[in-house]
Amino acid sequence: MSWEDTATMMQKHREETYAAVEPAIPEPPKELPLNVTGVPKQLLSENVISITESPPQTLIESLASGKLTSTDVIKAFLQRAGLAGKLVNCITELLPQRAMERAKYLDEYLAENKKPIGPLHGVPISVKEHVGMKGLDLNAGFVSWVGRVAPDDATLLKLLWKAGCIFYARTTEPQALMHLETSNNIYGVTVNPYNTKLTSGGSSGGEGALLGLKGSCMGIGTDIGGSIRSPAANNGLYGLRPTAFRLPTAGWSATMMGAEHIIPVIGPLSTSLEGVKVFMKSVIDQQPWLYEPSLVQLPWKDSSKETLLRKGYDGRRKLCVGVLADDGVVKPHPPILRGINTLIEKMKSNPDIEVVEFPPYKHDEAWRIISPLYFADGAAEEKAAIEASGEPFRPLTNFIIKETKAKELTIPELWQLTKDREDYKAEYSQHWNSVNTTLPGPDSEELVSIEAVDARDKMVDVVLTPTGPGCAPPLECAKYWGYTSQWNLLDYPCMIFPTGLYAGEEDKVEEGYTPRNERDNYNYELYKPETFIDAPISLQLVGRRWEDEKVIEALEFMMEAAKMESS
């Protein structure tokens, strides 16, 4: 069977799962606008719209109380997810039979026991395809891997299932799982619902596009270089890249399994910040380290009971936000800078928030270290998986493997890069400590006790920074990873959030700008205001290692101060 025949077979299977949905998925009109986010309201019933546009926290309450049945909710999401798939190509398959059986069981359980089965009772959760589901295909975007079947559910899915959720949709990912867009030779290209000339992001771009069209309210993505954050930002969503070893990863499929130089993570995307919180709490409250001993035994800290932010003398929460608007390597496009400046101005009026400049520290050095560590075998596994079927290399696979000259590392070279990684982590931590305090920076040989100089009350709590050098880029143009991979190298938790702003013609090109380097020039030349119309302007909030909950609370605090909507 040729690779084209395999792709046709998988696409036919997807169409069969669409056809099994009841009520039937409507067909979109042949002529569509670039922004298709308004199309579902034209084609779906008011009831379906009401259910699918409810934030997760509202659905949880309605399902737990019996105001909504799990059956009605999953029917609505199946129909809207199918429509999303037809609009932006974000679905690999729907699971109507499995989902409806699960919904029936949950409805019967609630009727009999007068209580929900768990904190996620009846909540629909979509799943990136390479996260294993028992008995289903696990191809990870490679044509030659079609036919591999997951022997069991991934550990994370088992825990979410125990919490009461329903899995109903599987979503697209790119060839090799190493793009900041989503395109493979099985299903084609997943596009951005806000502007279909732009990318939905990657590698969890199917999740991003599906949630962007509200065909899901909570989904599962993975991240080794920006793969949760890029889709969340490009589609105006909330997305968390947790600290490594907080959530279980057993049961997913990818190349380079077992590599420890850069640890991939798994995490949530959601249409609301509360959705991210309940996802994390529902899993960590089940003590996942009992099933995967590599996970850190770190219970979820509930900020609603006691603040994780520092307290001033008057007992009020205080927050110091460091602003890293430009990493010094590639300057962000005008819409991103407008988004940062708008948020800063809103926060400055709040007496409990201090906004300070956070200078970048050798971000080009971070890419020098991390880029060869991504493919320590010279991308041998990726090349073998692609060549086994005869499928062509996708443009961004070619870019990240061939144009960046992935090289097989010798053992001494790997050791040296690992040492460089650890040295950089230590230097960056010292840099963070020194911002806005009297503590010495990484160039100092002096080691001063943080407690001795009473610097904790002045230290930056979180860093506000872009997710990328622009809004969602045009297809095949997402070539700069620095604003996300930086934090993978450091293993810092990152929270993506929408500002509520969108790119427009008012975001003029900076005339007379002299690019700093080749990558900066590429990004500068890419920007044309008319190209990015309607693209969401999203930002990234970064915390220190293991401070996942603090990042979330800081974002809640900032949103309250800036009067931003949380869903």
Element housing 525 (H / E)? helix 518-526
Q: What is the pLDDT of residue 448?
A: 64
For residue 36, which phi and psi values (nearest 5 degrees)? -100, 10
Peptide bond between residue 23 and the one before it cis (omega within 30 degrees of 0): yes
Assigned token pair, 77: 């999401």
For residue 540, which phi and psi values (nearest 5 degrees)? -125, 135
Query: Which tens digit of pLDDT belongs to each residue from 277-295?
Result: 999 999 999 999 999 999 9
DSSP state of 410: P
Domain identity same for 189 and 217? yes
The answer as to whether 328 is a domain residue is yes
- Per the confidence metrics, is the pTM higher than 0.75? yes
Task: Count Cβ atoms within 10 A of the Cβ of residue 366 and give its class: 0-12 exposed, 13-18 middle, 19 or more buried.
Answer: buried
Q: What is the pLDDT of residue 218?
A: 98
H helix count then E strand count, the chain:
18, 16
* Coil vs helix vs strand at 434: helix
Instruction: Quote the CA–CA distance of 492 and 470 in Å, as a whole number.
Output: 21
The answer as to whether 52 is a domain residue is no
Q: What is the pLDDT of residue 455?
A: 60
Domain identity same for 329 and 460? yes
Q: 3-state SS string over 100-131?
A: HHHHHHHHHHHHHHCCCCCCCCCCEEEEECCE
Domain end position, chosen among 290, 321, 337? 290
Q: Letter for the amino acid at 511?
A: E
The answer as to whether 436 is a domain residue is yes
The answer as to whether 163 is a domain residue is yes
Nearest to 545 by CA among 368, 425, 367: 425
Looking at residue 233, which CATH number applies to its domain? Answer: 3.90.1300.10
Instruction: Quote the CA–CA distance of 84 and 99 in Å, as a whole number.
Output: 18
Instruction: Quote the CA–CA distance of 271 and 37 in Å, as a whole number.
Output: 14
Domain identity same for 281 and 318? no
Domain identity same for 234 and 150? yes
In terms of residue numbers, what domain contains 97? Answer: 3-24+61-290
Domain identity same for 171 and 209? yes
Q: What is the pLDDT of residue 456?
A: 65
200 is catalytic: no
Instruction: Quote the CA–CA distance of 96 and 88 in Å, as a whole number.
Output: 20
Domain identity same for 256 and 353? no
Nearest to 358 by CA among 463, 442, 433, 450: 463
Instruction: Quote the CA–CA distance of 219 and 238 in Å, as a whole number.
Output: 10
Q: Letter for the amino acid at 250?
A: A
Instruction: Quote the CA–CA distance of 541 and 466 in Å, as a whole number.
Output: 8
Q: Letter for the amino acid at 530?
A: E
Q: What torsion, rounded to 10 degrees, do the Cα atoms 446, 450, 456, 459 define?
A: 20
Q: Token pair 């279909």 is at which residue?
A: 196
Instruction: Quote the CA–CA distance of 550 and 567 in Å, as a whole number.
Output: 19
Q: What angle do the packed helices 70-88 and 205-212 form, to 10 degrees?
A: 110
Domain identity same for 357 and 221? no
Q: What value, to the nearest 5°, has the Cα angle with vertex 272 and ends 266 and 273?
A: 70
Assigned token pair, 166: 């329903």
Assigned token pair, 121: 């009772």
Among 54, 86, 126, 128, which one carries the catalytic annotation? 128
3-state helix, strand, coil split of the chain in percent (to 5) is 40, 15, 45
Domain identity same for 91 and 239? yes
253 is catalytic: no
DSSP state of 89: -
Q: What is the pLDDT of residue 317?
A: 80
Contact 25, 84 (CB under 8 A): no
Among 203, 270, 282, 303, which one carries the catalytic annotation? 203
Element housing 464 (H / E)? strand 462-466
Tell me the pLDDT of the chain (567 aa) as tens digits: 999 999 999 999 999 999 999 999 999 999 999 999 999 999 999 999 999 999 999 999 999 999 999 999 999 999 999 999 999 999 999 999 999 999 999 999 999 999 999 999 999 999 999 999 999 999 999 999 999 999 999 999 999 999 999 999 999 999 999 999 999 999 999 999 999 999 999 999 999 999 999 999 999 999 999 999 999 999 999 999 999 999 999 999 999 998 899 999 999 999 999 999 999 999 999 999 999 999 999 999 988 788 888 877 677 788 999 999 999 999 999 999 999 999 999 998 899 999 999 999 999 999 999 999 999 999 999 999 999 999 999 999 999 998 988 999 999 999 999 999 999 999 999 999 999 998 888 887 776 665 554 566 789 999 999 999 999 999 999 999 999 999 999 999 999 999 999 999 999 999 999 999 999 999 999 999 999 999 999 999 999 999 999 999 999 999 988 877 665
The answer as to whether 402 is a domain residue is no
The answer as to whether 470 is a domain residue is yes
Nearest to 462 by CA among 538, 552, 559: 552
The answer as to whether 33 is a domain residue is no
Domain identity same for 240 and 353? no
Instruction: Quote the CA–CA distance of 132 and 512 in Å, as a whole number.
Output: 50
Instruction: Quote the CA–CA distance of 312 and 143 in Å, as a whole number.
Output: 57
Q: What is the DSSP string of 308-348?
A: SSEE-TTS-EEEEEEE----SSSPPPHHHHHHHHHHHHHHH
Instruction: Quote the CA–CA distance of 318 and 508 in Å, as a whole number.
Output: 36
The answer as to whether 433 is a domain residue is yes
CA atoms within a 13 Å half-sphere pointing along the CA-CB vector of 23: 11
Q: What is the pLDDT of residue 564?
A: 72
Domain identity same for 426 and 548? yes
Domain identity same for 520 and 444? yes
Query: Which tens digit of pLDDT belongs to each residue from 109-129?
Result: 999 999 999 999 999 999 999
Assigned token pair, 506: 């008012």
Instruction: Quote the CA–CA distance of 380 and 399 in Å, as a whole number.
Output: 15
Among 126, 216, 227, 272, which one carries the catalytic annotation? 227
The distance of Cα 60 from the centroid of its chain, to the nearest Å, equals 22
Instruction: Quote the CA–CA distance of 264 and 128 in Å, as a whole number.
Output: 14
204 is catalytic: no
For residue 537, which phi and psi values (nearest 5 degrees)? -100, 105
Q: What is the DSSP string of 367-408?
A: HHHHHHHHTTBTTHHHHHHHHTTTPPPPHHHHIIIIITT--B
Domain identity same for 275 and 321? no
Contact 483, 540 (CB under 8 A): yes
The residue count for the chain: 567
The distance of Cα 336 from the centroid of its chain, to the nearest Å, equals 18
Q: What is the pLDDT of residue 316?
A: 79
Number of domains in the chain: 2
Q: What is the pLDDT of residue 449?
A: 65
